[in-house]
Amino acid sequence: GERRFRSEENLLAKKLSQRNHLVIATGGGAVLNPENIAVLRKNGIIILLEARAEDIWARVNRKKGTRPLLKGASCAEDIEKILATRAAYYDCADIRVNTSDKEMETIIEEIIQKLEEIPDQSYPDKSSAP
């Protein structure tokens, strides 16, 4: 169940965060565990990809059955509630990028631009700066 998933997620976050030059993509629930935030931040930058609830709902509906924690969600309003309960956790992000109404290329450019705006000394490992 979810407890086992979160435990495995934490073990993987610990393992991967010891390496350099990686992009670690997590689900929105990864930051619910403060230890995950700490280990991911230790050697990297946390980027939050945001979207409107209705956009998330549309994306999830295209891939039915792939998001167990959203199985009970019946509409964008349910997603909105989940986002609201997680809002304080999402504040841990070093960079936030809203992905609604944007092409992938635009999102990538925005991430790169925001990474370039971070002073080198802010990176945990200067050799991993873009």
The whole-number pLDDT of residue 127 equals 44
Average pLDDT, the chain: 86
For residue 87, give both structure tokens: 């809002």
DSSP string, 79-114: HHHHHHHHHHHHTT-SEEEE-TT--HHHHHHHHHHH
Beta carbons of 94 and 47 less than 8 angstroms apart = yes
The pLDDT tens digits of the residues spanning 43-74 come to 889 999 999 999 998 888 887 655 555 555 66
The whole-number pLDDT of residue 69 equals 56
User: Which domains are delineated in the chain?
Assistant: 2-128 (3.40.50.300)
Alpha carbon distance 130, 128 (integer Å): 6
Query: How far is residue 85 CA from its own chain's centroid?
Result: 15
For residue 38, give both structure tokens: 């700490």
Residues shown for the chain: 130
More confident site: 4 or 65: 4
- Considering the entire predicted model, what is its pTM? 0.79
Q: What is the dihedral of CA 12, 18, 24, 26, to 10 degrees?
A: 40
